[in-house]
Amino acid sequence: MSEATDPWLIVGLGNPGPEYAANRHNVGFMVADLLAERIGGKFKRAQKAQAQVVEGRMGPPGPANRRVILAKPMSYMNLSGGPVTALRDFYKVPTDHIVAIHDELDIDYGTLRLKLGGGDNGHNGLKSMTKAMGADYHRIRFGIGRPPGRMQVADFVLKDFSSTERKELAYMVDRAADSVECLLAEGLERAQSAYNS
C-alpha cells in the first residue's frame, strides 16, 4: 500500500527530437513541460534512466503537498517501459503512484479521461509500460480523435495538430496539467468528477 509520503512519478509520453515535438503523439511531453514550468524546474538528463527528469513538489502547502518526479522517456514511445521502470526503481515509487499522460485515439479531441489500470488500447507507450511493470498505474488520457478518411493511425499520431486544433491546444494542455495536480492533491474520484468529460 502506498504511503502519503511516497513520491509520485508523472510520465509524459512522447518521442524525443524536434521533428516530433508538435505531433499529436507528443501531447504527454507538452503536459509534462507545462507541469515542470509550474513547479519552477527544468528537465535534465536522468542519471539512472534514458529519460529527462525534473524533481520538485506539487500541490498546496500542507498534507496535500506531494514530492514529484516529472519524466519524459527519451527511448521513443514504443520503448517507454524501460526508462519508466528504471525511474520507478531508482526513486522507489509505488506503481499506483505513477501517472502516464498520453494521447488517446478513442476519445474526441479535447476530451480528458482519468483512470487507474486497464488495457493499453493499442497504445505502444502504454503497452511497453504495462509489459515492464503491470497495469496498475494511473492514466491521463488526452483525446486526439480518430484519423480522417483512410489515413493510417501511425501517420495521424505522428502529424502535428491541425490549425483548428492548435487554437484550443494550449487550453487543453493546461487543463490536463490541472487534472494531474487535482489527482495528486484530492485523489482519483475527485479528479475524475472534475475533469472526465
Instruction: Give, to the nearest 10 degrees, the angle between helix 124-133 and helix 81-91.
Output: 40
Alpha-carbon distance of 18 to 9, in angstroms, equals 24
C-alpha cell recorded at residue 169: 491546444
C-alpha cell recorded at residue 23: 505531433
25 assigned to active site: yes
Residue 113 phi/psi, 5° resolution? -140, 130
Q: What share of the chain is helix, strand, coil (3-state, %, to 5)?
A: 40, 20, 35
Catalytically annotated residues:
25
